[in-house]
Amino acid sequence: MTARESFPRLLLAEWTKLRSVSRWVITLLGAAALTIGLSYLAASGNKTNINEHADFVSGPHGEPVADAFYFVHQQITGDTTLTVRVASLTPEPARRAVRMGSDQMTKLEDPSPFAQPAAGIMIKDGTQPGSSYASVMLTAAQGVHMQWDFDADRKGSARSGARWLRLVRSGNTITGYESADGAAWQKIGTATPKNLPSTVEIGFYVSSPAAVYTTRGGGSSSVGDRPTSAQAAFDNVQLGSGGTWHGESIGDNDRLSEKGGVRGGGRVTEANGTYTVVGTGKIGPQPPDDDMLEAALIGVIAGLMALIAIGVLYATSEYRRGMIRTTFAATPRRGRVLAAKAIVLGTTSFLVGLVGVVGSFLLAIPILRKQGFTPPGFPRPSLMDDSVLRTLLLTAAFMAGVAVVGLAIGVLLRHSAAAITITIVLVLGPLIVGMILPGTSPKWLMYTTLAGGMATQRAKPPTITLAEPWAMIGPWAGIGVVAAWVAVTLGLAWWQLRTRDA
Amino acid sequence: MEPRIEVRALRKRYRTTVAVDGLSFTVRAGEVTGFVGPNGAGKSTTMRLILGLDSPDEGDALVNGHPYRSLRTPLRQVGALLDASALHPGRRARDHLLWLAHSNGIGKRRVSEVLDQVGLASAARRRAGGFSLGMQQRLGIAAALLGDPPVLMFDEPANGLDPDGIVWIRGLMRSLAAEGRAVLVSSHLMGELEDTADHLIAVGRGRLIADTSVAKLLAAASKDRVEVATAQRAEATTVLANAGATVTVAGPETVVVEGLPGDRVSALLTEAAIPFSELRRHRASLEEAYMDLTRGAIEFAPETGAPATERSVR
């Protein structure tokens, strides 16, 4: 025999099978159309007024940020150096659970370095909330950090207790240092904030983010917060050209004080060169948990149903009239047939899914923008954003993965209706159960079932503050769960093909 | 090596039924080998075992010296028609052959060639689901021919074919064998193999009953039989039967005499003054020969609960 078997030719054979049944081609096109169509409809009915009562402002890059703290500052022009010793930092203890209205709510632990009570020093482009800054701080539980412009963070030493901090401005760069004794200094990082005019505000501050309490389950979720405060003592304050220190609450702390926070947003008292500062508020990213991209991709679930049907039929049609014998007579190595089928179906479904999600994005985003999804709460997403690209590609991969699971289940069951039903239940069942289950309990469901793949649709980090259970896990975990399902079901199908008579 | 199929001590059991029970035979090149037996005798199972679709419990089947499952481009070595309806009804005839061709690295041009060869060129762009049984059969044969293989297997190829089609497929099989290929054709209708098969493998209940050349089989079945054409059938029967022959009625004016040589029959009839218009050696039909062969050798009665066995009736 001159010709050798080759896997690419097997792929071509399976592709020929897939494309030559016109009903399937129509269904594939339909999957993309369903995705786009439902996304469009859902976007049309989705409105938000989140920007009207916001606890965030626009940051230097247009993103939603929180910018509230108590700042003891003075104006300074040109290059400068500020050194202080944070003698102590005492955060107010927050309760682990509170009752708000009729809901028993638990405290949301946020490990972000932006969400810690902190005492530090800062150089800031004025006192307008949302303006550029760079700071070095001692946090209550995470040691020393340097941060700037609400999203950049450099970790310093993990020490707690009294710490010397220093900021040095030189032209457009600000360098942060820390020290245990005020003599031996370690550099933490160098920042170039977006806007740094020659005249800036410089000083020391205390921040203490509100404690967030949440409850979810029964198909809904609610979130509430309670302001907290922290107290810190600063001494050894040294600024090149000493002016007068002036204490001021930055940001909208009136609202916080109404709810039992620190009156006036904080205060400062001075005795023998030691400044005792009480502050409240958060400095850092403050995106709404709602995900604009997820809101633009509602139709994925519809496209998914069509792709499941294709995946299953691509397998079961081989069995309905015994064509599987023709297939295995042509290619006796059954594992290769299964691999070729999975690759052809997976690639096709991925491309169909990609058309669906990109189409949804292009169509639904402009509609959402007309209906309140605007900055600062929702910066305009672009196809070129990393998070948008990741979301669209992973969502298409999720759709392809589920189609391949449908294929494997079709091989295992050899029965179209049963296989389609089971695959759909595998996706939708855990979603429904996860909506109802309270608190973080649906997390394990998302980590173990195909429903976890829905997490690929989120561009934002995981959160437990939303009703949808898939928001609890990250997109990579979501696609990982789907990949595991693909591997396990294909493995079972392969094993069965090898051992069973055709 | 010369194309051939070897089946050695093959045994296959499905739950309680032994479908193939220690079957051994060889299909040789340059011959059409008929594979006969009643429905349920294990013919299709044997073919599936040869194609590696089912796994035997014991024994093995080799195609050109290799187990089928070890072949990398099997369509170029063995063409098989098992079940003509085993295709996707929504797929066009041409596409059905095209994916098969791709899977074994066979060129597109060959697809058009075999479609021409089986007379489906004009239906190439029609969906196979709309085909008549005969057209599906032709498409299945086209698929078998696709890889131009030296070994061919057809399971009941005449199913659903019209008389023209039956003549065509006989000619096709003869010419395939004449080209030196090994051809295995199963049938439960002996008549289909008349004038087609060179060799016969008869099975019943999964066991081998006969493995013989058709020429020998017919000679044996025709031996010592004489056909007599006479208007006085009853008288002739009496005379010959009294002389110890077995006489069977074969037509309104024809009897077949078994157990007496031709010259003795002629003498007896002349002696009894019974006129006869013709006296010739009887040439047995394949069906008759097969019935002789299997008489007593197998029970055609179905196993309890199984549907009644179809028997060839012509």
pLDDT (tens digit per residue) in B39-88 = 889 999 999 999 999 999 999 999 999 999 999 999 999 999 999 999 99
The rounded Cα A292 to chain-centroid distance in angstroms is 11
Q: What are phi and psi of A411, to 5 degrees?
A: -65, -40
Confidence at residue B262, expressed as pLDDT on a 0 to 100 scale: 82
* pLDDT above 80 (res B301): no
Q: Are A333 and A306 in contact (CB under 8 A)?
A: no
Taking CA atoms, what residue in B is nearest to A13? B99
Cβ density class A159-188: b for 16+ within 10 Å, e for less: eeeebbbbbbbeeeebbbbbbeeeeebeeb
What ipTM was estimated for this complex? 0.85
Q: Of A16, A102, A58, A448, which is closest to residue A287 (Cα–Cα)?
A: A58
pTM across the whole model: 0.84
> CA-CA distance, B209 to B221, in Å (whole number)?
16
Of A23, A322, A331, the CB nearest to B103: A331
Question: Percent of chain A, pLDDT > 70?
Answer: 97
Say whether residue A13 is in contact with chain B using an 8 A CB cutoff: yes
Nearest-Cα distance to chain A for B92, in Å, is: 7
Residue to mutate among B99, B106, B137, with most A CBs inside 10 A, is B99
Element at A433 (helix H, strand E): helix A416-436
Q: What is the dihedral of CA B27, B33, B38, B39, to 10 degrees?
A: 70
Of B52, B83, B102, the CB nearest to A9: B102
What contacts B134, CB < 8 A, 6 or more positions away? B160, B161, B162, B165
**Residue A325: its chain B contacts at CB < 8 A?**
48, 51, 53, 82-83, 86
Looking at the complex, does the CB of residue A4 fall below 8 Å from at least one CB of chain B? yes
Cβ-Cβ contacts under 8 Å for A274 (sequence gap 6 or more)? A87, A233, A234, A235
The sheet carrying A274-279 orders its strands as A185-191, A173-179, A163-170, A80-91, A230-239, A274-279, A266-271
Please answer yes or no on whether B104 and A3 come within 8 Å at the CB atom.
yes
Distance from CA of B138 to the nearest CA of A (A): 15
CA A109/CA A263 separation, integer angstroms: 25
**pLDDT by residue (tens digit) across B205-260?**
899 999 999 888 887 777 778 888 888 888 888 888 888 888 888 888 888 888 88
Which one of B70, B74, B87 has the shortest CB-CB distance to A330? B74
Q: Nearest chain B Cα to A14, which residue?
A: B99
Q: Which residue of A has its CA nearest to B74?
A: A330
Confidence class for position B295, pLDDT limits 50, 70, 90: low
Ranking A54-68, A240-254, A399-413 by mean pLDDT, the lowest is A240-254
Q: Give the tens place of pLDDT for each residue, A70-124.
A: 999 999 999 999 999 999 999 988 788 888 777 788 888 888 999 999 999 999 9
Which of chain B's residues have a Cβ under 8 Å away from the Cβ of A329? 51-53, 74-75, 80, 82
> What sign results for the dihedral spanned by CA atoms A224, A226, A227, A229?
negative
Using the Cβ of A325 and the Cβ atoms of chain B, whether some distance falls under 8 Å is answered with yes
pLDDT, mean of residues A131-137: 97
CB distance from B143 to chain A under 8 Å? yes
Distance from CA of A19 to the nearest CA of B (A): 9
User: Is residue A26 less than 8 Å (CB to CB) from chain B?
Assistant: no
Mean pLDDT of B181-193: 88
Closest CA of chain B from A345, distance in Å: 15
Cβ atoms B240, B267 nearer than 8 A: no
Chain A CA closest to residue B86: A323
pLDDT confidence bin for A2, thresholds 50/70/90: very low
